[in-house]
Structure 1
Amino acid sequence: MLALLSSLAAIFVILPVLLFALVFYIVKLLTNSQKKAKGAAINITTFVLIFSVHYLILVIWSKSLLWLIILFVLLTAILFSYVYWKVKEEVDYGKVFQGFWRLNFLLFSAIYIGLLLYGAASRAIEAVMVK
């Protein structure tokens, strides 16, 4: 059972879009609400995307930059909170966290896709150069 769970976790870290689709489908079936399904899928997938980016960096450059990723997330939270406060002139912590988390979903999705393309291209170039 533990092997199955670790295999599922590995699949979702490698392909977080599968987790997004699975969570979206399950929540949509349970609630009949596309809005709730999308929100739940984004919330869960964001957490996995952060670790997916970490593991892609680890595979591409053989370096752990998890501390830098955590720092980036914290700085994003500070910046998002500041901008929200400047625009709304008050802070609703629930909305700030939700907006910050969704912003991280977009940022880490873009970073993930960029690293995936970079990693594939660099491995392809390495394979051609070796021959």
Structure 2
Amino acid sequence: MGTIFSSAAALFITVPLLFYILVFTIVKQLTRNHKKALNAAIYLTTFVLVISVHFLIMAIWESSYLFVIILFMLVTAVFFTFLHWKTREEIIYGRVFAGYLRLNFLMFSFFYISLLLFGIITRAKNLIFSV
């Protein structure tokens, strides 16, 4: 049982798009609501993307920058909350948190794709020039 769980976790961390599709499909089948399924998939996949970016950074630079990632997320949360307060003049915590998770989903999707391409290009360049 532990092997199945660790294999699934490794698969989803390696390819977070599969996790997004799985969550979306399951929630869509359970609720029959496209918007709820989309939101649930985005919110849950955000955490998987953060972990994926961390492991991509570890694979590329062989060093952990988890503290920097968490610090970046905290600074983003403060900035996002401040921006929400300036525009709405009232902080509605549910909306702020939902918007913050969506913003993180977009940013970490971009980071994931960028790091994936950077890693592939770097490894290919190392293989070509080491021969």
Normalised by the length of structure 2, the TM-score is 0.99
Runs of 5+ in structure 1 lacking a partner? none
| 1:18 has 2:18 as partner | yes
Deviation at 1:130, TM superposition (A): 0.9
Partners of 1:101 and 1:72 lie apart in 2 by 13
Moved over 4 A (4+): none
- Per the alignment, residue 100 of structure 2 pairs with 100
Deviation at 1:68, TM superposition (A): 0.1
- Per the alignment, residue 57 of structure 2 pairs with 57
Partners of 1:57 and 1:46 lie apart in 2 by 17
Partners of 1:5 and 1:43 lie apart in 2 by 21
Partners of 1:96 and 1:36 lie apart in 2 by 18
Deviation at 1:8, TM superposition (A): 0.2
Q: How does 1:27-106 map to 2 (within 5 A)?
A: 27-106=27-106
Partners of 1:72 and 1:101 lie apart in 2 by 13
Partners of 2:85 and 2:49 lie apart in 1 by 27
- Aligned-residue CA RMSD in angstroms? 0.4
Deviation at 1:73, TM superposition (A): 0.4
Identity %: 52
Runs of 5+ in structure 2 lacking a partner? none
Tell me the alpha carbon deviations over residues 68-103 of structure 1, each in whole angstroms, 9 at most, x when there is no partner. Answer: 000000000000000000000000001000000110
SS of residue matched to 1:91: coil
